[in-house]
Amino acid sequence: MTITQPAVVLPREYEKISMPPLKMQIDGLDFYYGRKQVLRNVSLPIHERRITALIGPSGCGKSTFLRTLNRMNDVIGDTHVTGSILLDGEDIYGPDIDVVALRRRVGMVFQRPTPFPMSIFDNVAYGPRINGLARGSELAALVEHSLQRAALWDEVKDLLYQPGTSLSGGQQQRLCIARVLAVQPEVVLMDEPCSALDPISTASIEELMMALKENYTIVIVTHNMQQAARVSDETGFFLLGELIEFDQSTKIFTDPRDKRTEDYITGRFG
Amino acid sequence: MTSRTSPSRWWHYKRRFANILMWVVAILATLIAVTPLVLVMYHVTVQALPALNWGFFTQMPKPIGEAGGGMLNAIVGTLILIGLAGLFGLPFGILGGIYLAEFGNNRPANVIRFTADVLASVPSIVVGILVYSLIVAHTKTFSALAGGFALGMMMIPTVTRTTEEIVRMVPVSQREAALSLGASQVTTIFTVVMSAARGGVITGALLAIARVAGETAPLMFTAGTSSFFSVNIKQPIASLPMEIFLRATAPYDVGHAQAWAGAFVLVVLVLILSIAARYATRGRLRIVR
């Protein structure tokens, strides 16, 4: 594999556009599974209350990158990270970081819905309960609020004590989103949240993301370029572990700077 | 195409023949495997019927050789013994299994796994002798406690390995989902992982109890036996397997009939535990894959 120059492109014009404050700042990130390097010198900003989309062909490292943002890769043994990831200015790989507290602030929605084998209510109440956020009627209110936020309340308000697994795929995914929201995170990471869903469920999740943007910072990995173009404010294109291009989505999808980005979004490969 | 018709037809018959042959062989093999079980159940039931009456469950034993009397003390004794065995065996077995499944990719875990496998195949009488030298030799008396401890020791390896298997089956995605909500690893294990694995773990535990309920050899040197009704765990205690053994080896027909009845009760007890084990997995939410 030939290694080209680190290709982080942050154009000058881009910096000039007035942007919301930075929520996360990734700088010179390298990531290794054992000896295999999966991410090379990735740097990008994540702005508050924006949707940042990460696109790229399978195996390009975009999911791995997403999982470094809440240190989910720590679960896998024999990995290591260099470079820095700042959350509100604090390095999340720093020595004083409480990983459990970090994951409360940076929640995650996975590719396949992962309802726990418990009731719908208990699924949503799980996070608040283990974190001691609420109990009793306060907890019930938080569960209702979270389900409303996830646009699921009307469908499940009479089924709260049915198992979470009894819902349809799209409903399960919204349940998982409600479950994340109940912990009141600041950033929500979404790892291909619609890839297991039908178009109608996908549309409802996308609508939901647009609404959530008001209060949350969202980072989404997607294989679906139309989806990235539809929902995101910024887009990063990954290829072979490198961030090839990062820019406003409108720019990336209409006038990409890099030839490889253009080839990918026009469907010439990937 | 026509030139191919005749060989393919020949093939067709050959395959049909092979199919029927294997079908018959499989059915015969199944019948042969099931026959002993049916014979045992039939024989035990028929032989037990004369001695099976209400008194058998509610009365104390008469002296060996005399008619009448029951096995109340042995039935209660067996229940106490398997209760104690569960008390000793299940916590270690289940926690050990969780450890092996969750943290078990290292050398110490491999040693534990190997030890558990070896312990599972240690003859039960050896476990009896071991507990004799550990407990009975010091307390100077047979006791229900020692008997329960011996049975508990026999449960540990099977419970450990079944728990490990079940806990491993819980998908990584479930653990990651819990971790991403701010759960620590221990919280994840005892909330999400165990709630998904609960049915399987209960099944493993009940099957292990059913297996040790019928053990006789480890009780000979540990629980001993007793002709009295006793719930004192520091004293020797009667148990169904020991009572069956004593009556079946004594030269009296009445005793033999009661031994059969005891065997019947023991078989039914094990059967109930097995059915309960199946019920436990059936009622639970299945593991989501």
Residue A215 sits in a domain of what CATH number? Answer: 3.40.50.300
Q: What is the pLDDT of residues A195-211, one digit of tens each?
A: 888 888 888 889 989 98
Measure A113 CA to nearest chain B CA, in Å.
9
- Asked if the Cβ–Cβ distance from B177 to A118 is below 8 Å, we say no
Does any domain span residue A222? yes
Which of A110-114, A180-184, B31-35, B195-199 comes out lowest in average pLDDT? Answer: B195-199
A16 in a structural domain:
no
Separation between Cα atoms, residue A110 and residue A106, nearest integer Å:
13
Q: Is the pLDDT of residue B63 over 90?
A: no
Q: Is the pLDDT of residue B285 over 50?
A: no
pLDDT at site A238: 93
Smallest Cα distance from B45 to chain A, Å: 42
Please tell me whether residue B70 adopts helix, strand or coil conformation.
Answer: coil
Is pLDDT of B69 > 90?
Answer: no
Interface list for chain B against chain A, based on CB atoms closer than 8 Å? 105, 171-184, 187, 191-192, 195-196, 284-288
Residue B106, min C-alpha distance to chain A (Å): 12
Cross-chain Cβ contact B181/A130 below 8 Å: yes
Query: Nearest by CB to B173, which of A103, A114, A180?
Result: A114
Residue A75 has a pLDDT of: 81
For residue range B42-56, list pLDDT tens digits in order: 999 998 888 888 888
**Are the beta carbons of A251 and A263 closer than 8 angstroms?**
no
Q: Which two tokens stand for residue A175?
A: 């349940």
How does pLDDT run across B228-247, given as a tens digit for each residue? 887 888 888 889 999 899 88
Amino acid at A168: S
The domain tally of chain A equals 1
Distance between CA atoms of residues A266 and B62, nearest Å = 93
Find, among B87, B68, B91, B285, the residue nearest to B196 by Cα: B285
In a domain, A184, yes or no: yes
Whole-number average pLDDT of chain B: 87
Considering only alpha carbons, which residue of chain B is nearest residue A184?
Answer: B181
Range of the domain at A79: 21-265
With CB atoms and an 8 Å threshold, state whether A103 touches B177: no
CATH of domain B54-283: 1.10.3720.10
Helix or strand (DSSP H, E) at B213? helix B194-213
Q: What are phi and psi of B163, to 5 degrees?
A: -60, -45
Minimal C-alpha gap between B180 and chain A (Å): 5
- Which residues of chain B have a CB within 8 Å of the CB of A69? none
- SS3 state at A73: helix
- Residue A70: the pLDDT is 92
Chain A interface test: which of B106, B173, B181, B201 (most A C-beta within 10 Å)? B181
Q: Do A116 and B174 touch (CB under 8 A)?
A: yes
* Tokens encoding A269: 């490969």
Report how far residue A191's alpha carbon sits from residue A54's, in angstroms, rounded to the nearest whole number. Answer: 10
- Whether A26 shows a pLDDT value over 70: the answer reads yes
ipTM for the predicted complex: 0.84
Backbone angles phi and psi of A77, in degrees to 5 = -75, 165
Within a domain: A78: yes
Q: What is the pLDDT of residues A170-202, one digit of tens each?
A: 899 999 999 999 999 999 999 999 888 888 888
Q: How far is B185 from chain A (nearest CA, A)?
A: 9
Is A183 in contact with B182 (Cβ distance < 8 A)? yes
